[in-house]
Amino acid sequence: MIPTLAGRIQTRLFLLATVGLAWTIVVVPVLPKRGAPIGDVYAATILALFVVALFGAGWELLYHAIQQYRWEKDWPILYALAEAVPEGVVAFVVVDAIVPTGPSPITFFFHFVTTWVVVWLTAIGPLRMVLLRWRFRGGRIL
Amino acid sequence: MTDADLTADLISARRWTDQDVAAARLPMIDVPLVSVGGGLGSFALVDTLRVAGIPSNAIRVLTTLDRPDQTYEYLASASQIPRHERIRSDSGSTIDNIWGFPSYALREAWNAKSIKEKMDPLLQVFLEPVFADYYTPRSGQVYESVVRESARINWNSMLVKGVVRMVRARHGGGYFSVLTPPRGWRPPPGQPPSKRIVFRSSHVHLAVGYPGVKFLDDLQAYRQAHDDFHRVVNAYEPHEYVYEELLRRPSTVLVRGSGIVATRILVRLLEDRERKGAQTTVLHLFRHYIDKPQGDDPKFRRLGRNGFAYQGFNYPKAAWGGQLKERLERLDGPGRAALIRQMGGTNTPFRREWEALLQRGRQGGWYQQWIGEVASVDPGPNGTITTTIVDPQQRSVQLAANFIIDATGLESDISEHRLLADLLSHGGASRSAFGRLEMEPSFEVAGTRNDPGRMYASGSATLGGYYAGVDSFLGLQYAALRIADDLASIGFGERIGVSRSVKEWFRWMRNAPIPG
Ligand SMILES: Cc1cc2nc3c(=O)[nH]c(=O)nc-3n(C[C@H](O)[C@H](O)[C@H](O)COP(=O)(O)OP(=O)(O)OC[C@H]3O[C@@H](n4cnc5c(N)ncnc54)[C@H](O)[C@@H]3O)c2cc1C
């Protein structure tokens, strides 16, 4: 992937709102919920998506700054996957602080990791089939 | 009655009327769009237009080739990329698939027999370029994919064989492309005999590839003065006999150049030594020796050492679709020329295997690096050729070799191409600050518009325009998409939107022919 800053942010928001949300809706019923009611788990997981979307602008600024030190000005797909680690930790802390009962770490972990992988897989491949010009536009959709 | 041919009046006129052509008795064929060249650039455009819904009878491809990858395969084979070797461009540069998905790595994994063969390409794209070298497909895979896609878009039905001599503007809009058919061609019964066929079209696309092989001046002079085309060869010309002779007797080869083709020649020579027992000594002559990273700005610095400048592809990856592409688009002609030179220039990819091979050669003494300017090239004793160089300390050094391989250049000046030269003198085209065709961002050739017709170009002749990677699979596809979009904006075909894109992608996956 070779995103520009605007492209990074747009792609993130677009994918979270489409495949990210769709995946969440589908996966929550089968997540280990540790006895929590499904409604609470939906609330917490969708909140997690919001946090990843909202904090995303900040994270992308950081990644963009790192990218400037790469001659190719690219962003290896491995890095895009590895972003999940710091972002996951921060998202968990924020969701845990907002939702009084808090999601169980297990629930959060399975939701976050699977959603991240689904979004990442979409971004490195099938997205191009839908958005033909995406790869030439540094990831910009608009 | 002699065969009809171009008349002096036609040759001198910048614009022709339909009557002019009729008066010269030249047979005329009407078609909405003509693509000249028939190589991968034509293929990329036609593929995109077919996906956009243009029927095959609206397109004619004027070419001497049977297959779109033919010239590419010829040049690649000569420069040491046989079918089982891996090319330079990446997994997503899928010339047979306008989406870049599924990538070559994915397809290689899918078709592989063993688990290891399936995992290797996937692991490599996952780890590239930080923990592994860039994955690149085998040339054979690329050729097979092009053949498959050609059949799907009905490529052969659009071909007309011959060389295009000139393209001239038509009074009333559009263009006349004058084709010289192959020897032995006969017009359809009832038509007068003619040496040319004229194609009258609204739109023209030029994808004529490289104007010609460029030789170093001193080597060209030597070749001509001593009529020696055997021992002084160009890397882009077939020269397999050289490697065969090297297996027979211990010899010395001088290699000039430090781009990817030079690397491939070195790899071939050194591998033949390690694997086939050739006793070859390789002298590698550098004019510019790069011994440290290039660039003062830590944010714009590329790897350089051991004489070479290294980067994955001809340009940094973001030149094809990231921030470097956007930066280039905002610059004027001279600014673009400068940035293109800075991002490109002579460079070679870093591959761990190749580095190790050169390192072993250096240590063993059979791969030697020399730096200097060539002063003269002369015949030496015992059938050798002596190259006299002036080294950086201003000393004169003589290098004797049995063969010299010139791996410095492929691209000659655009005016050496007859059709492009005609376009500059009679078609309204001009040169960019980079010295090639002045282009619009839409890949229209600046100064050639003839409403409602438009003339476009892609490939090497357009370098210096608003895109750096024009001479690459991905660049040819980018140009194709821009051209298709521009044509759609004036009513020729439809802009490929989300639903057509998805529908046509599924059709591609089923390998179902595009109708029409
Ligand atoms: C050795 C080598 C390796 C390369 N490796 C890669 C790689 O790994 N990845 C990558 O992306 N790119 C690579 N390229 C660059 C580029 O993608 C190819 O060269 C590609 O074939 C360019 O396509 P083209 O259509 O511009 O030219 P070509 O494929 O060469 O086609 C142009 C054709 O037009 C014909 N023609 C010219 N004038 C006329 C005329 N007047 N009338 C009729 N026909 C005419 C020519 O005969 C030629 O066959 C490589 C290039 C070379 C030389």
ipTM, 2 decimals?
0.95
Do residues B153 and B282 share a domain?
Answer: no
Indicate whether B15 and B104 sit together in one domain. Answer: no
A34 belongs to a structural domain: no
Nearest CA to ligand 1 atom 35: B37
Q: What is the DSSP string of B187-234?
A: PPTTSPPBS-EEEEESEEEE----S-----HHHHHHHHHTT--SSEEE
Does B443 share its domain with B498? yes
CB atoms within 10 A of CB B443: 27
Q: How far is A30 from chain B (nearest CA, A)?
A: 29
Q: Is B166 a domain residue? A: yes
Residue B158: give its domain's CATH number: 3.50.50.60
pLDDT above 70 as % of chain A:
99
Query: Crossing angle, helix B115-127 and helix B104-111, to 10 degrees?
Result: 160
Q: Residue B419: CB partners within 8 Å, gap ≥ 6? A: B36, B164, B165, B166, B167, B206, B208
Task: Give the Cα separation of B324 and B343 in Å (integer).
Answer: 9
Domain count along chain A: 1
Query: Domain check: are B391 and B444 in the same one?
Result: no
> Which DSSP symbol is given to A80?
H
Q: Say if residue B372 is in the same domain as residue B487.
A: no
Give A73's contacts in chain B (Cβ within 8 Å): 316-318, 322-324
Question: Can you give the C-alpha Rg of chain B in angstroms?
Answer: 24
Residues B355 and B400 grouped into a single domain: yes
Domain presence at residue A56: yes
Asked whether residue B121 is domain-assigned, the answer is yes
User: Percentage of residues in chain B with pLDDT exceeding 70?
Assistant: 100
| A127, A129, A135, A141: CA torsion to nearest 10 | -60
Looking at the structure, tell me whether residues B321 and B461 fall in a common domain: no
B63, containing H or E segment = strand B59-63
Whether residue B425 is found in the same domain as residue B455: yes
Last-in-domain residue among B137, B159, B176 = B137
| Pick from B22-36, B232-246, B405-419, B482-496: least confident | B405-419
Q: Same domain, yes or no, for B423 and B478?
A: yes
**Residue ranges of A 123-142 with Cβ closer than 8 A to chain B:** 125-126, 128-133, 135-138
Mind telling me how many Å the CA of A15 is from chain B's nearest CA? 16
- CA–centroid distance, B154 to ligand 1, in Å, is 21
Domain presence at residue B423: yes
Cα separation of B313 and B90, whole Å? 8
- The pTM score is 0.97
Which residues from B are below 8 Å from A when comparing CB atoms?
Answer: 92, 98-103, 106, 125-131, 298-303, 311-312, 316-318, 320-326, 478, 481, 496, 498, 501-502, 505
Is residue B36 in contact with ligand 1, taking CB distance under 6 Å?
Answer: yes
How far, in Å, CA of B496 to CA of B136, rounded? 28
| Contact yes or no for B324 and A136 at CB 8 A | no
Domain interval for residue B396: 217-291+347-406
Is A116 among the domain residues? yes
Inter-residue contact B204 to B175 (CB < 8 Å): yes
Distance CA B258, CA B122 (A): 30
The pLDDT tens digits of the residues spanning B106-163 come to 999 999 999 999 999 999 999 999 999 999 999 999 999 999 999 999 999 999 999 9
Residue nearest ligand 1's atom 38 by CA: B208
Question: Is residue B2 one of the residues assigned to a domain?
Answer: no
pLDDT in tens, B299-346: 899 999 999 999 999 999 999 999 999 999 999 999 999 999 999 999
How far, in Å, is the centroid of ligand 1 from the Cα of B115?
Answer: 35
Which sign, positive or negative, has the C-alpha torsion A94, A100, A105, A106? Answer: negative
Domain for residue B359, yes or no?
yes
Best mutation site among B90, B93, B101 for testing chain A: the one with the most A CBs within 10 Å? B101
Is residue A112 one of the residues assigned to a domain?
yes
Q: Report yes or no on B447 lying in a domain.
A: yes
| Domain contains B308 | no
Reported as a single tens digit per residue, the pLDDT across A19-74 is 999 999 999 999 998 888 999 999 999 999 999 999 999 999 999 999 999 999 99
Q: Is the dihedral of CA B297, B299, B304, B308 positive or negative?
A: negative
CA A88, CA B229: separation in Å to the nearest integer? 65
Residue whose CB lies within 8 A of the most ligand 1 atoms, among B472, B477, B478, B483, for a mutation test:
B472
What is the domain count for chain B? 4
List the domain range (segments joined by +) for residue A71: 5-27+40-137
Q: What is the mean pLDDT of chain B?
A: 96
The closest of B88, B84, B94 to B43, measured between CA atoms, is B94
Segment B219-260, tens digit of pLDDT: 999 999 999 989 999 999 999 999 999 999 999 999 999 999
